[in-house]
Every structure is written in structure tokens, then in C-alpha cells.
Amino acid sequence: MPSDTRAVRDSEQLDWPRVEAWLRAHLADARVTGLDLTQPFAVEQFSGGHSNLTYLVRFGETELVLRRPPLGPVAPTAHDMAREYRWLSAIHPVYPLAPRAYALCDDVSLIGSVFYVMERRHGIVIRHEEPPAVRDSPTVRHAVSGALVDALADLHAVDLVRAGLLHLGKPAGFVERQVRGWTERWERSKTSEIAEMDRLANWLASMLPPNPERPAVVHGDFKLDNLMLDVTHPERIVAVLDWEMSALGDPLVDLGILLAYWASIAPAGGDALTTVTSRPGWFTRDELIDRYQARSGRDVSTLRYFEVFALFKIAVVIQQIYHRFAVGQTDDPRFARFGDRVLALARQACSRV
């Protein structure tokens, strides 16, 4: 299986001797299976992802994952590692696809930010290309599609009261707060005026759907490349990753995000969200919706609103990354053309309003 890590980028190095010392002091009581803190320390960087920095740290053969915010100033409430740590700690016992969190460092003097360490899971993540176990197999693609939708519906089926999760958020008014918050992020991060983004913000604020009868745990960024699949049986999901945006609220936020990233037809020339899912065997968008509705029993009549919101939100996320590139907070060359992607997404969303 190809490695999903690489050497740490020069511009994204941390103070590794201090990190190592902190880990040796704080992981001793974390009950990490197989961890031997007398073993040598090593670190690499995960090559995927566009926002938070994620590193693989090793003590001998034992692997752990360290996550921290991107370098430089970040938007208020964004990239909140302490919040993500608390969510993983609460969700893992009732939804085991969420990796276990081990330790949180809230001493920003150590590396300049809060960071946390969590369980390392092994599997395959489908991004721009399919792994051999999936490639050229419509049957496997279909099975992965179904497993993905079922994992989402199962997350939304978690009983908030019985699981003791109500302390994590306030479901009422969730969508209104989301629209307001992402509009504010757009205003803070924009590098040029885009009329389509202003139109979308106004439409979303004026067309708010009612609160759901059954609020749920919302992952916030549920998509194919945030799922880890078993290497030999890819129809089995081994982890759901990236819980930074998780909240309590309307579960259709997640379905909207999933559909925004899901391409049933390959667009001419590609676009900002083109994925492998246009290939034979992957569910169509209608199949995704039907499977989710059957599994969850939820009303999806307001789904168009959430699809538009998803495109708006993704555009803002990409703009925040592009802003960091534009002002020199990162030199990752992948981000140089992200400004064009924002405009393309805004126009795509406006076509649905």
C-alpha cells in the first residue's frame, strides 16, 4: 500500500524536541496499546488535507497522529483543536468509527498553538485516484457507496440524550448560526469582491429552514476522502476522520456536504469538486439520497437549501486557505489557484438558487 506520509515540509516544522518531551510526559497514562516510551521518536507529515497540519509521530513501531492548526493567524473559532479533542473524546465511545483521542496540549508556548494526539488507524483514503481494490470494480464502488451512506445515517441515529452529548452544543438555531458564521468568515478572508458570494449569503439568511424535529450529531465535513476504508475489504469503513466542524444540529448539513462533493457525471474540464464518483458503480446522487432517507427515516424535503449552503461553505473554506497563501502564511503550491475555485463554486451554487 502506498505511503500516505512524507517528510515534513521545511515551512511546517515544529519544535520537535519539545513536542517529544511533552509526549513522553503525558502519554504514559493514556493507555495506548503497545506504546513503549523508551523507544526512539520519529515524525513524518500526512500528505493529504489542505487546512490543519497533521503529523505521524512514532515511538518505535507505535504510531500516533498529531494535529494542530495551520501556521499564522486563523479565523476566530476556526481550527479549534481543543474543541475537536473534546468531540472525539465524547463521540468515540458511542460511534467507534471516530478515532480515540489520547492527549491535549493547551500550552500554546510549546509550539505556538494548541495541539492534540489521537489514535492512528490504518486503511485507504480515496482522493483523486482509486486504489487497486476499488479501481475498475463497479461492484466494489457500489458497496463502498452504500457503506458510506450507512455510516452517515448511523452517526445521525446516535441518541443525544442517551449518549450524554447534549452538553456539546445547542441544536436550536444551529443553521442560522452556521450561515452567519460562514458569512463572517467570508468577509474576513476575501481578497476580492465576488457578487455571487454576497447573493448566496443573502439568500441563505432569508430562506432558513425550520429546526429539525430530531437534531443529531453533525460531522460538518462528511465526504468520501474523510473516510478510511479497510485495505482488503474496502466496503468496510474503519474510520471517519476530521471532526473539526462537528456540532449538534440539522443532519441535512452533512448530506448537503456529501452531495456537494459527489459527482455523478464527470464535468467537462473538471471543476473544484471533481471526484472519482462519476465512474460506473458509484451511487448516483439520487441513490445517495434514497439510501439515506431509507436508512435514517428523515425528511429531506429541504435538501436543496443544504446543498447550496454546502457549496457556499466549501467556497469559504477554500478562500480561507487561499488567503493564507496570498499573505504568505503558507508556501504550499497547491493553493496558488484556489481563488479561481472560489468563483467557480459560487457560480455553481447560484445556479441552484
Domain residue ranges in the chain: 5-119, 138-350
CB atoms under 10 Å from CB of 163, counted, come to: 15
Q: Of 93, 98, 36, which is closest to residue 63 (Cα–Cα)? A: 36
Give the H/E segment covering residue 258.
Answer: helix 252-260
Residue pLDDT, tens place only, 27-53: 998 999 999 999 999 999 987 655 689
**Alpha-carbon span 151 to 240, nearest angstrom:** 9
- Which pLDDT value is given to residue 323? 81
Residue pLDDT, tens place only, 250-268: 999 999 999 999 976 544 4
Residue range 5-119 in CATH 3.30.200.20: yes
Is the pTM here over 0.85, yes or no?
A: yes
Residue 291 has pLDDT above 90, yes or no: yes
Is the CB of residue 264 less than 8 Å from the CB of residue 227?
Answer: no
CATH superfamily, region 138-350: Aminoglycoside phosphotransferase (APH), C-terminal lobe (3.90.1200.10)
- Which pLDDT value is given to residue 268? 43
Q: Any idea what DSSP says for residue 120? A: -
For residue 6, report the phi and psi dihedrals to the nearest 5 degrees.
-150, 175
Amino acid type, 192: S
**Alpha-carbon span 219 to 71, nearest angstrom:** 24
